[in-house]
């Protein structure tokens, strides 16, 4: 199994998760992060660190789409291991529905 980043990270990107990952398997896009499913060792320590509750285990229902999403972009984006400021307007965006269709950017983030 693996953990994955899901929709509510988009436009929030708190980055609390990256500091606790023992294998540095978070990758940064312009407005969200992803986890590389083949690098994640399923330790679970990142899940409670996310203020947006965006990190889920792939054992939950309907996670296949998110595993493929995380795999695809982790192979294109730079690694991120250090916490940075969340996105501008993160508080208003936290919990907003439809963020994947409305806001997701395929552009890479800056990484570390």
Per rule CB under 6 A, is residue 1 in the interface with ligand SF4? no
Q: What is the SS3 assignment for the chain?
A: CCEEECHHHCCCCCCHHHHHCCCCCEEEECCCEEECCCCCCCCCCCHHHCCCCCEEECCCCCCHHHHHHHHHHHCCCCECCCCCCCCCCHHHHCCCCCHHHHHCCCCECCCC
Shortest approach of ligand F3S to residue 76 CB, angstroms?
Answer: 17
Q: Return the residues of window 76-95 that contact ligand F3S according to CB under 6 A.
A: none
Picked from ligand F3S, ligand SF4, none, the partner binding residue 13 (CB below 5 to 8 A depending on kind) is ligand F3S
The site for ligand F3S, by CB under 6 A, has a size of 14
**Of positions 2, 3, 4, 9, contacts ligand F3S by CB under 6 A:** 9
Alpha carbon distance 54, 13 (integer Å): 10
Q: Return the residues of window 12-31 that contact ligand F3S according to CB under 6 A.
A: 12-17
Kindly list the residues in this chain that would bind ligand SF4 in the complex (CB under 6 A). 3, 20-21, 23, 25, 35, 40-46
Kindly list the residues in this chain that would bind ligand F3S in the complex (CB under 6 A). 5, 9, 12-17, 33, 49-50, 52, 54-55
């Amino acid at each position: 199994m693996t953990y994955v980043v899901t929709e509510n990270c988009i436009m929030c990107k708190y980055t609390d998760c990256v500091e606790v990952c023992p294998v540095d398997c978070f990758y940064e896009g312009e407005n969200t992060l992803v986890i590389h499913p083949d690098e994640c060792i399923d330790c679970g320590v990142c899940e409670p660190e996310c203020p947006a509750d965006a990190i889920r285990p792939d054992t939950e229902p309907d996670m296949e789409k998110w595993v493929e999403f995380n795999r695809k972009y982790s192979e294109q984006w730079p690694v991120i291991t250090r916490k940075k400021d969340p996105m501008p307007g993160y508080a208003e965006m936290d919990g907003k529905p439809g963020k994947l269709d409305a806001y997701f950017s395929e552009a890479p983030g800056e990484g570390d």
